[in-house]
Amino acid sequence: QVQLQESGPGLVKPSETLSLTCTVSGGSISSGNYFWTWIRQPAGKGLEWIGRLHIRERTDYNPSLKSRVTISGDTSKNQFSLKLSSVTAADTAVYYCARDGYHSGSYLDYWGQGTLVTVSS
């Protein structure tokens, strides 16, 4: 059973960088069959796809966030990470990591429980 767990600071100051880590168990981020993805959800609102990492090939980012986002992986720890720079209150959200398939019509089949990040001074 694949499990994902987000971790990181729950409070970030405006203009600083949000940093989160997703630890994967029961599966390997080195697998060529998956993308490892970040999604966020502001309170009471819908889901926004942030971006994804294929450890052997590439990263893909949402153009709306691309200038501020970096997703990277650490195969030795079986983790992948999100960095979002120059945050504002609009970046306050629950952040989820998830696994996406590497095929046409792929889907997010395993999700972390989510972690709330609040941007406030």
Partner 1 sequence: DIQMTQSPSSLSASIGDRVTITCRASQSISDYLTWYQQKPRKAPEILIYTASSLQSGVPSRFSGSGSGTDFTLTISNLQPEDFATYYCQQSHSLPRTFGQGTKLEIK
Closest CA to 40 of 116, 101, 121, 106: 116
102 near partner 1, judged by CB under 8 A: no
Q: Among residues 61 and 87, whose Cβ is nearest to partner 1?
A: 61
34 near partner 1, judged by CB under 8 A: no
| Single residue of 22, 34, 87, 112 touching partner 1 by CB under 8 A | 112
**Burial of 7 from C-beta contacts in 10 A (0-12 / 13-18 / 19+):** middle
Token digits of residue 86:
């120059």
| Single residue of 1, 107, 120, 121 touching partner 1 by CB under 8 A | 107
Q: Which positions touch partner 1 (CB under 8 A)? A: 46-49, 51, 60-64, 96, 98, 100, 104-109, 111-114
